[in-house]
């Protein structure tokens, strides 16, 4: 048996933690990612009503917790008091929606690095407040915790780059637009994170020539990516890191 082409271990990012086996964006999911051998987790951040960064994908707590309500109407204390594990499985009851600060501390313990996806929600009033909160919260990371930033919002990446020019910036696209090169240069960003179903060999050849990294999300089947690694695909963002690390 010969192994299928695949990513190097450092290029497997656990999407919202190992969200196939533990409740997304919880400390349990990040711990599970580390136990699966992942070096990176992807996580989503947004502001609470009182301006604290919490790690959650949606703009409300409804889907992933025992509570109800929009992030813009709940304080961090209210959000942090909810159960964010029982919806996924009884053994995860008691998991919380963590703050970014708590998460960064846990990642240090687990030896993990973080792709921090900045979500832009309607209740966010100030981009400056949002990116300064990210800057402040990642400042406490352990020496071994590398940080990169991703967003569907180019303005968020631009503002973040201005504050932290050394960090890798990844533009998120479902489908990469024709003028991707100009759009990346305007941020500037060095990386594209794109939906795996829109990958093409032609695009990977052009990005590789220009030194642009490309990671594919959210892919849970290694067979789907086999033909893209040789063409220059950099990495994968997956709910199930174990299957890409096997
Ligand atoms: O980072 C890739 C992926 O997380 C983007 O989509 O909706 O899962 O945050 P979403
Ligand atoms: Mg995300």
Mutate to test the pocket of ligand 1, among 42, 64, 149 (most ligand atoms within 8 A of CB): 42
Burial 85-95 (b: 16+ CB within 10 A, else e): bbebeeebeeb
DSSP codes of every residue in the chain: -PPPP---GGGEEEETTTTTTS-TTSHHHHHHHHHTT-SEEEEEEEE-TTS-EEE-SSSBSTTTSS--SBGGGS-HHHHHTS-SSTTT-GGGTT----BHHHHHHHHHHHT-EEEEEE---TT---HHHHHHHHHHHHTT--TT--EEEEES-HHHHHHHHHH-TTSEEEEEESS--TTHHHHHHHTT-SEEEEEGGG--HHHHHHHHHTT-EEEEES---GGGGGGGTTTT--EEEES-HHHHH-
Task: Return the ligand 1 atom nearest residue 117 CA.
Answer: 1
Enumerate residues lining ligand 1, CB below 6 A: 15, 42, 44, 57, 117, 150, 172, 193, 217-218, 237
User: CA torsion, points 4, 8, 10, 11, in degrees to nearest 10?
Assistant: -70
Question: CA–CA separation, 60 vs 127, rounded Å?
Answer: 19
Q: How many CA atoms lie within 13 A of 92 on its CB side?
A: 27
Distance between first and last Cα of the chain: 14
Q: Mean pLDDT for each consecutive 10-residue tract of the chain (246 residues)?
A: 85 99 99 98 98 98 98 98 98 98 98 98 97 98 98 98 98 97 98 98 98 98 97 98 96
Q: Which ligand is nearest to the CA of 196?
A: 1
Task: Return the ligand 1 atom nearest residue 152 CA.
Answer: 5
Mutate to test the pocket of ligand 1, among 11, 12, 44, 199 (most ligand atoms within 8 A of CB): 44
Tokens of 184: 């990346």
Using CA atoms, how far residue 166 sits from 100, 114, 140, 163, 176, in Å, is 20, 15, 16, 9, 24
Three-class HEC string of 173-222:
ECCCCCCHHHHHHHCCCCEEEEEHHHCCHHHHHHHHHCCCEEEEECCCCH
Question: CA–CA separation, 100 vs 102, rounded Å?
Answer: 5
- pLDDT for 1 equals 60
- pLDDT for 3 equals 76
Task: Return the ligand 1 atom nearest residue 57 CA.
Answer: 9
Angle, CA 189 vertex, CA 232 and CA 143 arms, to 5°: 90
């Amino acid at each position: 048996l010969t192994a299928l082409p695949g990513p190097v271990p450092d290029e497997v990012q656990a999407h919202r933690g190992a969200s196939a086996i533990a409740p997304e964006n919880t400390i349990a999911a990040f711990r599970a990612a580390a136990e699966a051998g992942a070096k990176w987790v992807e996580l989503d951040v947004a502001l609470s009503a009182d301006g604290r960064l919490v790690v959650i994908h949606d703009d409300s707590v409804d889907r992933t917790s025992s509570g109800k309500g929009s992030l813009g109407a709940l304080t961090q204390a209210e959000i942090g008091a909810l159960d964010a594990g029982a919806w996924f499985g009884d053994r995860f009851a008691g998991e919380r929606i963590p703050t970014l600060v708590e998460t960064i501390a846990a990642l240090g313990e687990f030896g993990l690095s973080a792709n921090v996806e900045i979500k832009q929600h309607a209740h966010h009033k100030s981009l400056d407040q949002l990116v300064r909160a990210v800057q402040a919260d990642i400042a406490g990371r352990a020496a071994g915790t590398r940080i990169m930033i991703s967003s569907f919002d180019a303005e968020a990446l631009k503002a973040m780059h201005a504050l932290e020019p050394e960090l890798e910036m990844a533009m998120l696209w479902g489908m990469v637009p024709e003028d991707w090169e100009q759009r990346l240069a305007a941020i500037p960003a060095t990386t594209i994170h794109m939906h795996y179903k829109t990958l093409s060999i032609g695009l990977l050849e052009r990005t590789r020539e220009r030194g642009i990294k490309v990671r594919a999300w959210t892919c849970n089947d290694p067979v789907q990516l086999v033909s893209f690694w040789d063409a220059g695909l950099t990495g994968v963002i997956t709910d199930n890191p174990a299957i890409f690390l096997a």
